[in-house]
Structure 1
């Protein structure tokens, strides 16, 4: 048996697979996010440990023999978070998350230094780890002076599980400190943050063993003393492993808390001017590109909170056959935006609201707005020469067939839905646990899933959405 643990923003998943990669058990635990000020987004690392414990306790109750038979564990998780430990391994403050934009001024200043783009292949985005540390140095100097280790969220779970300070190449790519081409920490960039490699975890590939589960935890869940923990991956790279997106030209779109258009590449193809992310993949000698938007299902959930109902109830009110766009335009920049705008200050807005609008029509305009930002991200990837003729779709938003139909027409490419439900990051993490513990080739186990359904764009509908997309882009420019 092999276990994948995925530390998300709003919840944690623990998924068991057997040697045939059949899912045999799943447990989840919710997570909450604190927003003490505008643009701030934080979590206490202790709740990650508690959520993991709760999920494994659930698996122990429902699948005790399967959990006891685990040979390898893979980790995936939300990227970019700054988890800070002192010399006694005590957490110094709440973790600043990927969608925390308080350090936008620091990020902009760092990005003016050409060394960051030259070495990392990326813009220094406000959500990345390095500008958070610079913000901390200026605003919480007492905390900064106590930093002994800087860990990414899933790597704090690794430390709890194994006692080892280790990260993987894909997750480390989102710190603004990694030499992404050469897959190593950059001493020069760390020095610009008044840090050194001694403050950082060691690095392994996602398919390598990073450590072994500590004996007390192994005993708690009935495991053997030699359960290997793989390097794992950032959440999107892990999702790609689960979907078999490992070769150039393969890609997926994610409708999660944030939104992603992901494309695997077999070479290092940086394009920071487009705000496309160029990161190491979870596999050796491979990379990937991502266009990232900050509010996908987050935008729908925001609307659901206002309406005091569930997101599923809102999307169920939309006609299942999409024949064209709404007249209302929604800009879903509720937390700023990354690709292609790199704009931490922009905020969401509705345009062309009228008395004719209903709750359902506003919901549909929100789904359209998110899809338009994903089209902007896809266009940014295409500008680098990356070609995607179709994409697999994952994430909670894929539960809405209306949203998938809208997305296919706005992206104007087929959207493929994997058979067997949402094959996400937890499954990819479990695959990495399998590869690391059994020392097998990823080519032997990273196949694409069977396809349950394909959403095809309709020429007339796609044309109508292309017209509205032009309006959408013009409204963004007008908002500047």
Structure 2
């Protein structure tokens, strides 16, 4: 068997699958986010270990984990986990959706070396500007930093005792030479850091270490269980979805939203705000359009009207309507692709007396879909054109929302057969690859249950509404200064 652990923002998930890649069991543990100030988003790494312990205890109580041969790790990207020389955590981890370092990010992005070497804009959510913020605002803590780890790599340290990162996650730090797949000494020095502060780098399917004896004993595992390099959450989902070759793509409707396209070569275009990162397999890269609030936007609205996301979407029925007058801009915590705008905030535009819960729910679903259409256009500007994408993430359970997305983006949306092919599944596959010394041949696509085509009679109306959405963004940007 093979174990995948996916450290998300709202929970940690563990899956076990067999040699035939059939799901054997799964378990989850919830996580919460602390927001002590506007724009801040933090978690205590201790809660990750508690969640992982709960998940492994649960799986061990129901399964013989002596059959596990490999473990893979997936996780939320960009988080700054700061350790001292004794590997003690110095402060809460600053998460991917934290925007406090927007001033530091802008200063770094003004240095042409960052875009040239990393192939990406320096976004406020990336790791390097967070360290610059700590240096400026918490100098006593910065002086004690001995290692900087990404969230899933702190789990690895706990599991193996090794300081290791892998290429797909490291590409989101603003310290990686993405084309060369190595840390950049120039960029590290720009934040008063060096290679000594960084974990060593491996590829996602490489062995990064073996499980510590005490943990192996606790869960009745073999002492030679290998832990794979793993992947950032989106690259891991791509491994789970079999999105490993040019032309293959997935659309993730999770807390954030991602339009992910695998590429066979490194072709960055930072001006588009498209992320150009290493893939989890050697010699491969990927591009992503990223929006910061996807299901997060719907959950926000549901809380405001005293409901929940599932109930709101179910109430809309099966038939998708043409867009109404109300436009929703889902920029609750800023936006990445294509705007790179940390200051922008969300808004409803075009409200009238007839606006009710149903029409505003549709506006929220449509607003997120238009943000994905912006990502489609940004990818096309880099030369990456797509015809279809496979749906993944919690929001993909809503057929109504997927139809809206197909209408707004013009993409054919493929829906896998029952099963979870996301980050935890991809992580387990990487654990299997590490144990077998295998590669992309194990990353097969799932069987597709159905494909959702854009509705030809509604596509023009959605295209016109997308234009109104873009105009609303420009007006909102003017109001926000």
TM exceeding 0.5 = yes
Note the alpha carbon deviations across 1:282-304, whole angstroms, 9 max, x for none: 00000000000000000011111
Distance 2:270 2:303 in 1: 35
Shift of 1:62: 2.1
2:377 to 362, 376, 379: 379
Contact kept in structure 1, 2:281 and 2:439, CA below 8 Å: no
Alignment of 1:332-347 (within 5 A): 332-347=330-345
Secondary structure in 2 aligned to 1:61?
helix
Alignment of 1:104-253 (within 5 A): 104-253=102-251
Secondary structure in 1 aligned to 2:328?
strand
Contact kept in structure 1, 2:41 and 2:95, CA below 8 Å: yes
Note the alpha carbon deviations across 1:306-346, whole angstroms, 9 max, x for none: 12222111111113111311221000000000000000000
Secondary structure in 2 aligned to 1:460?
coil
Counterpart in the other structure of 1:3 = 3
Secondary structure in 2 aligned to 1:459?
coil
2:302 to 281, 293, 304: 304
Secondary structure in 1 aligned to 2:220?
coil
Counterpart in the other structure of 1:54 = 54
Shift of 1:178: 0.2
Note the alpha carbon deviations across 1:170-224, whole angstroms, 9 max, x for none: 0000000000000000011000000000000000000100000000001111101
Counterpart in the other structure of 1:100 = 98
Secondary structure in 2 aligned to 1:123?
coil
Counterpart in the other structure of 1:41 = 41
Compute the TM-score of the two structures, normalised by the length of structure 1.
Answer: 0.99
Counterpart in the other structure of 1:273 = 271
Note the alpha carbon deviations across 1:124-179, whole angstroms, 9 max, x for none: 00000000000000000000000000000000000000000000000000000000
Shift of 1:438: 1.1
Alignment of 1:458-477 (within 5 A): 458-477=455-474
Distance 2:304 2:215 in 1: 42
- Count residues in correspondence: 477
Secondary structure in 2 aligned to 1:175?
coil
Distance 1:403 1:422 in 2: 18
Distance 1:215 1:304 in 2: 46
Distance 2:315 2:350 in 1: 21
Shift of 1:479: 1.2
Compute the TM-score of the two structures, normalised by the length of structure 2.
Answer: 0.98
Q: Which runs of 5+ in 1 are unaligned?
A: none
Contact kept in structure 1, 2:433 and 2:439, CA below 8 Å: yes
Shift of 1:452: 0.9
Note the alpha carbon deviations across 1:77-108, whole angstroms, 9 max, x for none: 00000000001111000000000000000000
Shift of 1:440: 1.8
Alignment of 1:343-354 (within 5 A): 343-354=341-352
RMSD: 0.7
Distance 2:353 2:211 in 1: 60
Shift of 1:387: 1.7
Secondary structure in 2 aligned to 1:47?
helix
The answer to whether structure 1 residue 440 and structure 2 residue 438 are counterparts is yes
Shift of 1:423: 1.2
Deviating 4+ runs (over 4 angstroms): none
Distance 2:260 2:415 in 1: 15
Shift of 1:422: 3.3
Distance 1:333 1:421 in 2: 31
Contact kept in structure 1, 2:244 and 2:440, CA below 8 Å: no
The answer to whether structure 1 residue 454 and structure 2 residue 447 are counterparts is no
Alignment of 1:350-361 (within 5 A): 350-361=348-359
Distance 1:193 1:426 in 2: 33
Distance 1:134 1:266 in 2: 33
